[in-house]
Structure 1
Amino acid sequence: MGARHTAPWWPCARPASTRSPSPPRSSSRNGSSSLDAPPKRSSARRIGGVPLEWPESGMLSYDWVLVLGEVLDMASRRLQPQQLPTVLPPHVAESLITCAGRLLSNEPNCVRIDPDPCSTSVVLVGDVHGQLHDVLHLLEITGFPSTNQIYVFNGDYVDRGAWGFETYILLLAWKVLLPNQVFLLRGNHETKFCTIAYGFEKEIMVKYGERASSLYQKILTCFQAHPLAAVIAGSVYVAHGGLFRQCEVPTLTPSNSISDSKRFVGHARRSLTLGTLEDLAKASRDVLDPSGVGSNAIPGDILWSDPSPNPGLEFNMARGIGLLFGPDCTQEFMAKHRLKLIVRSHEGPDAREKRVDMEGMDNGYTIDHVVHAGKLITLFSAPDYPQFQAGSHRYENKGAYIVLEPPDFSEPHYFTFEAILPRPQVSSYYDYVNALDSDEDLEFVRGSENTKEGVRS
């Protein structure tokens, strides 16, 4: 195992449990990166405000990605938000987003990940919500992505935290560098709905000014490209919200028009059938804001659904979108697909505080269903969340990640870590005092497919 890397300006924060990172191995691949051995960190390399340049070859290296992380960290601590373009020019960000979007769009709805059963481990990461410094810390203590360490990030990269743009850009860079070792699944906050309500849109507008609108549209298009789920080693299913229904296309009537569908008017009379991986493979994910009806049902469910302690499959009335699925559904899905583990995310301490029938999210993970086939786990990787809270009381939750080890990959090893505090002083990009606590009752625009044409409008 390699030595632990430490950026000199980071405050000390001892995680509850850590793993020493191993240095990435040299490897070759087709595409857009140069897998040279990672250099030593160069903390002063970009401190003077010299803008980061896009490589002339269009191929990223470990050095470039590590320097990007340093630049973003430095900018968050020493520059005003609107000064970010002086070190990360918009054309560099746009080039990275475009390159990553192409890679993501070529992946299937459900990515099949087959790690080397002898030498590769898999790290699973839940919601990170723009908490850049915690993401950098997690990568440091866990080890950078490499040919012998795969990462699967389970969505919700942006919103609520003040550095959603920096967090997303950094993870896209790792994806471009190591497309076969870094997988970025989509979360419910990778939608236009949530980025308007929880600050990401405004964050980009503040940071990039007159170039922000174009940059935001490119990011929205990239959101649509993310795969919805992953299956690891044939035995572990990972998706942001969880399970989903077998798709049905409703006929719009006065009782289930798009204006009323938020309240599921007319839906209660229809029975729900649990979907399969075959159904998921056929679904169209090229939609900016999955509505949860018609051909949007499967992506809407995967991004928004929650587990329940009660048996059955029903509409998630609290959220107004997605499903509630019980242990029997988990058992059925796992048995059908010969799974041993399901890992989902989507619920932080604020959401779980309202669900008295579910375990709290103090430690960054919960085991929600234990069935004959295996377990269903909720994983949340944003410690001390949310960054901005109206009252003096804070949840002070830990973040967590899961490591799957060879040869079976189905036994989760849990690691918790604490937030990097104090965070740099910055203002919120949304009205967190009056904001809803857990994405409930957003005024979704339903019934529209919201294709890429809609993104450009």
Structure 2
Amino acid sequence: MSDSLPSGSPSDHEPATNSPEEATTTSSTTTTTSTPEGPSPPPIQIPLPWPSNSSVTLDWIQNLISAFDWSSKNLPPSELPSVLPVSVFDALVLTASKILHKEPNCVRIDDCNENSRVVVVGDVHGQLHDVMFLLQDAGFPCEDRFFVFNGDYVDRGAWGLETFLLLLAWKIRLGGDDGGRDQLTGSMSEEKRSGSVRDRENVIGECVFLPQRVFLLRGNHESKYCTSVYGFEKEVLAKYGDKGKHVYRKCLGCFEGLPLASVIAGRVYTAHGGLFRSVSVTPSKRSKGKKNRRIILNSETKPLCLGSLEELSKARRSVLDPPWEGQNLIPGDVLWSDPTMKSGLSPNTERGIGLLWGPDCTEDFLKKFQLKLIIRSHEGPDAREKRPGLGGMDEGYTIDHVVPSGKLITLFSAPDYPQFQATEDRYKNKGAYIVLKPPCFDDPEFHSFEAITPRPAVNAYYDYKDVIDSDEELDLAAMVTST
């Protein structure tokens, strides 16, 4: 089936072999695996070539999965360029970035039908093998299977770069072997261009995955500050050596283009942190022109109130670190805010950025925008341990607010977290993902899963003994807020 991983994938729940022949494979090599049943899967090409005509097919992505899985178990991190050359990294990130930067702040997933399924995923934090299992367990993205990822792809886990690149590969605007290939070149005929998304997909073929099927939202860890504290920057430098700074800068640029939120079937709002404040835009008395508009912020002298989806759509998301002060507060709210059981909207003093919102705010937001469900992430078992009144993260999800108009859910998809704590200090939590089904896509189906073990031996890229587990009480004054 097209939705299955090739043999040797993490779905086997077995560690890869470490034969001398495999351990020394670094260039222009084809590694094959075999199974007792059925045909042999495609060979693993190392190093990975960028596909001809930039047409990333299902076979190419499966090869990427197998190569990342194999290299994580058989090669030192510094050998990643022998698996994924910098030139291939550049092509992948450039192609994905062009698509991401064109997407709105809040993407709307409206082309669901009676055969559609929408899979929502929470924080994954560089736990590559668990992500590969999740993709197999839920089924690969396809015409009728959408994926919405709520951010936090990197940091803490040892394979943040591979995880992020794998998800970008699923996101990429792809081409087929017929007239649909011009999705990249823009040369599609006017008749095909004017057709529906479904028509264009039929032209392109079933092995092509358009951006309208995979949505990557931004998490608070997709930022310069967090990646400098929690390991992603050091991970990239360790893996790409003298090219590491270049690779890191390209990743940061890609992070800036990630959308902030999604609305699924007009019924479900998803974002990494959650809700956000209102900022009023008023024209200057001197002129009603656009250039003279000024932002009136909700300060301590003016009560905070919930923002609107229209305000969200106008926020400026292309910043390395969302500001905690000034005029552009909505991105920081969306990425850093948390729910509470206390009514009202208040500053998130524990984190130093974002908001805390109560059940009344959840009700107001759902009712105002005719929604039934909010799915957010941002809090793992470490954060929830410090949040009295809210549920733990043992199963990978919690239902935090139940109000007349619907529910608020927190979703966390990194099992046995955090990766590098001593066994007795880890939370042994399950990860989870949500499946939304027709007719209304607002009745969540929860799927919890255990971590893939044993994990490959690897060193941490941050000082997990001294750096706090959760994102509270960070030195947010060090965040870069300039454009």
TM-score by length of 2: 0.81
SS of the counterpart of 1:426? coil
Alpha-carbon offset, residue 159 of structure 1? 0.2
Which consecutive segments of 4 or more residues in structure 1 shift more than 6 A? Answer: none
Alpha-carbon offset, residue 267 of structure 1? 5.1
Answer whether contact 2:3 2:139 (CA < 8 A) is retained. no
Aligned residues: 408
Alpha-carbon offset, residue 442 of structure 1? 1.8
Q: Give the counterpart of 1:74 among 70, 74, 84.
A: 70
Amino acid in structure 2 at the alignment position of 1:54: W
Q: Which residue number in structure 2 is paired with residue 156 of structure 1?
A: 152
Answer whether contact 2:304 2:345 (CA < 8 A) is retained. yes
Superposed CA deviations along residues 317-341 of structure 1, whole A, max 9, x for unmatched, are 1001100000000000110000000
SS of the counterpart of 1:112? strand
Answer whether contact 1:7 1:43 (CA < 8 A) is retained. no
Counterpart Cα distance in 2 of 1:350 and 1:276: 31
Aligned CA distance change for structure 1 residues 99 and 187 (closer, same or farther; 3 Å) = same
**Within 5 Å, which residues of 2 pair with 1:276-355?**
276-355=308-387
Report whether the alignment pairs 1:99 with 2:95. Answer: yes
Aligned CA distance change for structure 1 residues 431 and 448 (closer, same or farther; 3 Å) = closer
Answer whether contact 1:120 1:405 (CA < 8 A) is retained. yes
Answer whether contact 1:292 1:299 (CA < 8 A) is retained. no
Alpha-carbon offset, residue 410 of structure 1? 0.7
Aligned CA distance change for structure 1 residues 72 and 450 (closer, same or farther; 3 Å) = farther
Q: Give the counterpart of 1:63 among 54, 59, 66.
A: 59
Alpha-carbon offset, residue 446 of structure 1? 7.1
Alpha-carbon offset, residue 370 of structure 1? 0.4
Aligned CA distance change for structure 1 residues 41 and 344 (closer, same or farther; 3 Å) = farther
Amino acid in structure 2 at the alignment position of 1:222: C
Counterpart Cα distance in 1 of 2:347 and 2:128: 34
Counterpart Cα distance in 1 of 2:280 and 2:480: 15
Q: Which residue number in structure 2 is paired with residue 233 of structure 1?
A: 265
Superposed CA deviations along residues 12-40 of structure 1, whole A, max 9, x for unmatched, are 559xxxxxxxxxxxxxxxxxxxxxxxx98
CA-based RMSD: 2.1
Amino acid in structure 2 at the alignment position of 1:52: L
Counterpart Cα distance in 1 of 2:153 and 2:441: 25
Aligned CA distance change for structure 1 residues 241 and 205 (closer, same or farther; 3 Å) = same
Aligned CA distance change for structure 1 residues 352 and 114 (closer, same or farther; 3 Å) = same
**Within 5 Å, which residues of 2 pair with 1:25-174?**
42=41, 44-46=43-45, 50-174=46-170
Q: Which residue number in structure 1 is paired with residue 416 of structure 2?
A: 384
Aligned CA distance change for structure 1 residues 41 and 300 (closer, same or farther; 3 Å) = farther
Superposed CA deviations along residues 288-331 of structure 1, whole A, max 9, x for unmatched, are 10012223210000000000011000000100110000000000
Q: Which residue number in structure 2 is paired with residue 190 of structure 1?
A: 222
TM-score by length of 1: 0.86
SS of the counterpart of 2:51? coil
Uncovered stretches (5+) of structure 2, i.e. residues with no partner: 15-37, 175-208, 282-297
Counterpart Cα distance in 2 of 1:319 and 1:267: 18
Report the identity percentage: 56
Answer whether contact 1:104 1:225 (CA < 8 A) is retained. yes
Superposed CA deviations along residues 361-414 of structure 1, whole A, max 9, x for unmatched, are 000000000001000000000000110115733200000000000121011000
Q: Which residue number in structure 1 is paired with residue 189 of structure 2?
A: none
- Bigger Rg, which one: 2
SS of the counterpart of 1:338? coil
Q: Which residue number in structure 2 is paired with residue 220 of structure 1?
A: 252
Q: Which residue number in structure 1 is paired with residue 274 of structure 2?
A: 242
Counterpart Cα distance in 1 of 2:87 and 2:388: 47
Superposed CA deviations along residues 192-248 of structure 1, whole A, max 9, x for unmatched, are 010000000000000000111011101101000000000000010000000000126
Q: Which residue number in structure 1 is paired with residue 180 of structure 2?
A: none
SS of the counterpart of 1:64? helix
Counterpart Cα distance in 1 of 2:409 and 2:47: 42
Aligned CA distance change for structure 1 residues 40 and 404 (closer, same or farther; 3 Å) = farther
Which shows bigger deviation, 108-117 or 333-342? 108-117
Q: Which residue number in structure 2 is paired with residue 438 of structure 1?
A: 470
Q: Which residue number in structure 2 is paired with residue 17 of structure 1?
A: none
Counterpart Cα distance in 1 of 2:13 and 2:70: 18
Q: Give the counterpart of 2:305 among 273, 289, 307.
A: 273
Aligned CA distance change for structure 1 residues 40 and 103 (closer, same or farther; 3 Å) = farther
Amino acid in structure 2 at the alignment position of 1:155: G
Counterpart Cα distance in 2 of 1:162 and 1:41: 30
Counterpart Cα distance in 2 of 1:243 and 1:4: 36
